[in-house]
Amino acid sequence: MRSVYKLSDYFGLLFVGLATVLASSFIQAADNDWVTLIDGTDGMENFNIVGDANWSAEHNAIQATQGSGTSWLVSKKSYSDFSLRVEFWASNDSNSGIYMRCEDANQITDRSCYEANVFDQRGDPSFGTGAIVHIAPVDEPRPTAGNKWNVFVITLDGNHLVVELNGKRTVDVHDDLLASGPIALQWARGTLRFRKMVIREL
């Protein structure tokens, strides 16, 4: 026996098919919102080097182990509102940080950028690893990053600054000092490796 379909059935099937395609496109677009800046040993071309640390692509990461003074990898692009995810390895004696919204790409400081610190041995531990230096101290028990792989997830949305280190929120603060600028990865001491860095603009 022949099946009989009403016109409304065809429209219903068409609607379901269209909804499926649109949903799939939306998911793909959402995934594509994340831009990779470092992926293993790839990514040096997305940054300028400030200072003379020996930045290189080794051990499936971008790393620095020595230099005559503090050095940074500074992103060629500026960012305002974003979520940033960074996988990094730091030796126990390392001094590093993720600098954001830097006012001057050639003069990187913790006063002219927001710095999410990586510095287990800092003299004032309240602004050590997991803190934003001068802006938001980290509470006890204070996290450490030495001699292991770590993950920073940092969101700057307007004046709302949030830092998570290894799944623990270490900073949740409002501050409107800086609005936009490049991101910089610091080497000041020890061994630093960055194996994955992705960003999504908000």
Q: Could you list the pLDDT tens digit for every one of the 202 residues in the chain? A: 444 445 455 445 444 454 444 444 434 444 569 999 999 999 999 999 999 999 999 999 999 999 999 999 999 999 999 999 999 999 999 999 999 999 999 999 999 999 999 999 999 999 999 999 999 999 999 999 999 999 999 999 999 999 999 999 999 999 999 999 999 999 999 999 999 999 999 9
| Res 29: pLDDT | 40
Q: Are strands 61-64 and 168-174 parallel, antiparallel or unpaired?
A: unpaired
Query: Buried b / exposed e across 138-153, counting CB within 10 Å, b at 16+?
Result: beeebbbbbeeebebe
Query: Buried b / exposed e across 84-104, counting CB within 10 Å, b at 16+?
Result: bbbbbbbbeebbbbbbbbbbe
> Could you count the other beta carbons within 10 Å of the beta carbon of residue 79?
18
- For residue 100 the two structure tokens come to 């954001």
Pinpoint the alpha helices (H) of 33-106.
none
CA separation for the pair 174, 185 (Å, rounded) = 23
Q: Look up tokens 């060629």; give the residue.
A: 76
| Res 40: pLDDT | 94
| Res 9: pLDDT | 52
| Res 32: pLDDT | 66
Strand segments (E) across the chain: 35-39, 47-50, 56-58, 61-64, 71-79, 82-90, 96-100, 114-118, 148-157, 160-165, 168-174, 181-187, 192-201
Fold of 36-201: Jelly Rolls (2.60.120)
pTM of structure: 0.84
For residue 107, how far is the Cα from the chain centroid? 20
| Res 1: pLDDT | 47
Q: What is the DSSP letter of 9?
A: H
| Res 189: pLDDT | 98
Q: Are 94 and 119 in contact (CB under 8 A)?
A: yes
CA separation for the pair 184, 151 (Å, rounded) = 16
Query: Buried b / exposed e across 113-125, counting CB within 10 Å, b at 16+?
Result: bbbbbbbbebeeb
